[in-house]
Amino acid sequence: MSQSREAEVIAGLVAKARAAQTIADGYDQAGADRLVAAAAWAIMEPVRNRALAELAVRDTGLGNVPDKIQKNHRKTLGLIRDLSGAKSVGVIADDAALGVTEIARPAGVVGAITPSTNPGATPANMIINAMKGRNAIILAPSPKGYSTAALLLSYVHEEFDRIGAPRDLVQLLPAPVNKALTNELLQQVDLVVATGSQANIKAAYSSGTPAFGVGAGNVSVIVHRSADLAAAAERIVRSKTFDNATSCSSENSVVIEAAVYQPMFAALAAQGCVLLSGDEKAQLQAALFPAGKLSGDLTAKTAGDIALAAGLARAANARVLMVEESGVGPEFPFSGEKLSPVLTVYRADGFDAAAAQVAAIYSHQGAGHSVGLHAAPEAADALALQLGLTLPVARVIVNQAHCIATGGSFDNGLPFSLSMGCGTWGGNSFSENLGYRHFLNITRIARPIAPRNASADALLSAYLAETGRNGAAFSLKP
């Protein structure tokens, strides 16, 4: 397809999206919420959910069907819970004291890049957030995830037909999706939201279009000497094995305080983790990182399948493969993201050393994303605050299964999302979980209020006294 042809194709999609979005712009809050419910039911209806999960695993080769079913349902249910009652149409806030009224307006036409790791749940999440703001959205899925996105789109359109909503509010790039077509989409839409490879994120941010993109995952979790080791091991393994570690929020390294190093290994072994010897680690490295790069063939496979591929028959029944490490950086590939049930273990002499080890890991990969902490409740608050004040992370997850908690959970207060902003640490323009407000423009009406005059003397007197200039005078010349 020539460049002019690609531009023409995208222009056609965008034109249809704008026409549909003009209709949606006239919807009231109930109409926007009806769009949300329709898009949610498109993936949550049990028969459809299973069909999407089965197709995703078949065509991407990533993850497993039961966990994808759970993810599709749970992430969507949590999102619509968060959106229930939220104002996204018309006046959404009115501060009489400040004389400021806020009005929600659509962003317009959204271009959404979605990954192969979550080819159903992530597009659904983006569609629902876009619909909450009465936007139109055009999906640019990964090639492997295209079939799942296409099936999801058919379900969304079926639901839109039931409520009389325009189908063109949600569209999909034509197959085969390629970089040139996707890049042209980024040029013509009003807003870009991108989840997936860092190459896609870079393309989004360099497109010249306002963009929200996420940072690289490479989550580390610290096990403090006060932790309930059995509970910590269960949470870590539950997170690390969920959907075969397709999530960017899955633990990649666990940093264990020396005082509980061996007991924590025993707790992890009780959960089905197998620690590899030095020779076995070398075998795994050769299989998992051929030519120094993560193998796509072993991404998001079970630990047993990875073990057999590496010639490690004794670990064929492992739930998680563990390797000990002390170094960080490209020459230590296990210090990076593995997207598989492989866990790197570091030993630290105390909590400060553990935090420093995490900082070193994030200086290599994963800055901005999140860190996990397992500690006794009476110690956890102070330790979590220390991590939040010093590490380059947007989230500190305390005593939870990390990949389940980071994107929102029914037992924590984070909003449900499959796209986690990593702030400037991760090269992102935002540091919270992507949500419906990122899909809105806000218009503010400002009215006259009683003057709130300021006194330079009152505001600067402490500073001037501190710097020895108590007698400084202020004057305003006409």
Instruction: Give yes or no: 273 in active site.
Output: no
Task: Dump strand ranges (E) for 281-334.
Answer: 320-324
Cα-based torsion angle of the residue sequence 339, 243, 56, 133 in order, rounded to the nearest 10 degrees: -90
The neighbouring-strand residues paired with 219 are 251
Q: Looking at the chain, how many residues does it have?
A: 478
Nearest to 252 by CA among 366, 416, 357: 366
Task: Dump strand ranges (E) for 367-415.
Answer: 371-374, 396-398
Nearest to 209 by CA among 355, 46, 425, 10: 10
Starting at the edge strand that comes first in sequence, how are the strands of the sheet with 90-95 ordered? Answer: 90-95, 100-106, 440-446
Alpha carbons 85 and 432: distance in angstroms, whole number: 21
Cβ-Cβ contacts under 8 Å for 458 (sequence gap 6 or more): none
Q: 473 — phi, psi (to 5°)?
A: -110, 150
Alpha carbons 215 and 415: distance in angstroms, whole number: 18
DSSP-derived 3-state class of residue 321: strand
- Write out the two tokens for 56: 């995703």
Alpha carbons 241 and 448: distance in angstroms, whole number: 57
Alpha carbons 323 and 342: distance in angstroms, whole number: 8
Nearest to 426 by CA among 295, 337, 356: 337
Nearest to 133 by CA among 241, 25, 223: 25
- How many Å is the maximal CA-CA distance in the chain? 86
Alpha carbons 102 and 120: distance in angstroms, whole number: 34
Cβ-Cβ contacts under 8 Å for 232 (sequence gap 6 or more): 223, 264, 267, 374, 399
Percentage helix, strand, coil for the chain under 3-state DSSP, each rounded to 5: 50, 15, 35
| Angle of the 121-132 helix axis to the 29-44 helix axis, nearest 10 | 170
The neighbouring-strand residues paired with 171 are 138
Alpha carbons 49 and 54: distance in angstroms, whole number: 9
CA distances from 459 to 338, 355, 469, 477 (A): 52, 38, 14, 20
Question: Could you count the other beta carbons within 10 Å of the beta carbon of residue 97?
Answer: 8
Catalytic (active-site) positions:
248
